[in-house]
Structure 1
């Protein structure tokens, strides 16, 4: 037997790692991300801080673990695969009944708000001298569902050297702004003479993250809280079509990457998962208890994912993003609030 034949089985084994070897590779990083997520949830439950924000900040503090060592593979796996699983599982919250309950006028307003905010972000980014990737990432996250949308959109955006930095900045900024809005909006909107249902529409149509929408709505009244939650979930339904549109555009415009074998799939797997779960839920095929458990798993998967993304990002890279990026996210937030408020007044 020649030397080449003697080493062939070993080469084959290295090129096709077993499940057990992958688990050994991933376990340290996944466990660290899980520990960060649990700590973030503890801080959220006991001190009222947003869990996503805490996971992000704690993850950034552990950036040194991803420079080299045993955690690198597991953190990368968590930041990509587990995060996408979390986004896919969000579909269990969605059903056609939610859409029917709001009526065509309000649904049209919410869809128009999403589209207008993304377009506004694109134009504003050009005026501020920022790239289109940051524009789509921030505009989509502000328009749809905050950190969850940012992570889903980042998964299909063509990558460059600033991709992870932009994602961390977007998650951090929309989470902070969402928390500010949760406190400030209920204090400001009575000035406009809105009734509880209209207040719920405004809060659900403008605040970025689901948890802050619930907090703001029920701080006004039960009716406002229930309406705000419903409206927010309708915005979440826009996640799949927006990501799909972005994917189709990127496939058409990034031909060089396609030739290099990096062309994204027509419909990302996590978007298919999102749509499949939404369809099953719409037909009543997911028991309520199972849906609640799946929603909890989704929340934890997203928390794991954002902790891992934080661990992959150095603080100095976030600080380097620039004040124009901060101004962009604030402007998009103000634009969406003004757009929804005017729409409510117009619809009566």
Structure 2
């Protein structure tokens, strides 16, 4: 046990050690040049953690490992629950059926496509394929973190998935404003998008929340409706992670029963933290907590997520990546093409219907 009498001191020291790294990552992310790139402290945290894991980890007492593991597991689930304070059901209702349908279609198709391509076509390990798919399908690094406990995946697999999210999410952040300025905005017919449609397209297809915010801000003269639609659709995708994880838990239970890997009755894997996440979003929708307090909660939650990401990075040794080759890159690249091209077509069709 992490806080048993024998391990308590090492656990607390490990948690403090991770928190120091997370604080440094938060300060780096707050630098204006870094912030303009839409790079979240979560990403910086895992990079710092990976650097530590492959350079300095032998200089830290082994007793601290329980605290590092606690940060990457328990603190993670707690932070995912309180991520619900970023969302209200009213926001989802405001964007209408078109935003909801684009979110639903893009999430489900991207996750299925990425999992299939990664595992069946590019021969990745199943957990790594699903983690990579969840990051592209839902909300980047936070989605990878939320999916990891359901799959019970190893930390280095999570790091691979996050690295793909960072790569293609960053490309998206620079690509979409160029597309809008050079192709979508001045065109007529099918290629033309209104600012609201483009906002739905951005929110329904770009990986990270920070990157979604950055894209409308990068479009010269972008009206407020573009940014509002983008953020709301993105947050709709975020809340969908809960039903996705529940469905994934049911799928894993069925697969275990079908393959005969388990002895006795198959236990249904229900990610309760995802259920609590929905409950927290519902509570936030009641608007009982003043906005200034909600803002503080979200800042603390971001720090806790950064701690979890840093801890996962600290368990990532490069030697574990041997044998993977370019499969993660191919898988993430295929999903990126689907998000950009398929997402555009689906946005146009859905907005025309609704």
TM range (shorter): 0.7 to 0.9
| CA distance in structure 1 between the partners assigned to 2:264 and 2:4 by the alignment | 25
Structure 2 SS opposite 1:280: helix
- 2:13 maps to 1:28: yes
Contact 1:26 1:74 (C-alpha < 8 Å) held by counterparts: yes
| CA distance in structure 1 between the partners assigned to 2:264 and 2:310 by the alignment | 31
Structure 2 SS opposite 1:236: helix
Structure 1: 5+ residue stretches without partners: 1-13
What's the offset of the Cα at 1:337?
Answer: 2.0
**Pairing partner for 1:303 from 306, 322, 335:** 306
CA deviations over 1:152-207 (Å, ceiling 9, x no partner): 11110144xxx322210101110222122112211123302323222211211111
| CA distance in structure 1 between the partners assigned to 2:300 and 2:280 by the alignment | 14
Gap change, CA 1:130 and 1:74, over 3 Å in 2 = same
Structure 2 SS opposite 1:70: helix
Contact 1:44 1:54 (C-alpha < 8 Å) held by counterparts: yes
How do 1:54-93 residues align onto structure 2 when only pairs under 5 Å count?
54-63=44-53, 64-65=56-57, 69-93=62-86
- 2:187 maps to 1:197: no
Structure 2: 5+ residue stretches without partners: 186-192
Match of 1:98 in 2: 91
How do 1:84-233 residues align onto structure 2 when only pairs under 5 Å count?
84-125=77-118, 126-159=120-153, 163-190=154-181, 191-193=183-185, 194-220=193-219, 221=222, 222-233=224-235
Worse-matched range after superposition: 215-224 or 172-181: 215-224
Match of 2:189 in 1: none
Gap change, CA 1:135 and 1:15, over 3 Å in 2 = closer
| CA distance in structure 1 between the partners assigned to 2:207 and 2:63 by the alignment | 35
Give the aligned length. Answer: 329
| CA distance in structure 1 between the partners assigned to 2:267 and 2:9 by the alignment | 29
Contact 1:118 1:135 (C-alpha < 8 Å) held by counterparts: no
Contact 1:144 1:236 (C-alpha < 8 Å) held by counterparts: yes
Worse-matched range after superposition: 219-228 or 239-248: 219-228
Structure 2 SS opposite 1:285: coil
- 2:244 maps to 1:252: no
Structure 2 SS opposite 1:321: coil
| CA distance in structure 2 between the partners assigned to 1:302 and 1:15 by the alignment | 19
Contact 1:65 1:72 (C-alpha < 8 Å) held by counterparts: no
Match of 1:6 in 2: none
Q: Who wins on radius of gyration, i.e. which is larger?
A: 1
Structure 2 SS opposite 1:313: coil
RMSD, aligned CA: 2.4
**Pairing partner for 2:325 from 322, 325, 332:** 322
- 2:7 maps to 1:17: no
Contact 2:156 2:315 (C-alpha < 8 Å) held by counterparts: no
What's the offset of the Cα at 1:257?
Answer: 6.5
| CA distance in structure 1 between the partners assigned to 2:318 and 2:273 by the alignment | 29
Structure 2 SS opposite 1:198: helix
Q: Structure 1 length normalisation: TM-score?
A: 0.87
What's the offset of the Cα at 1:146?
Answer: 0.5
Contact 1:168 1:318 (C-alpha < 8 Å) held by counterparts: no
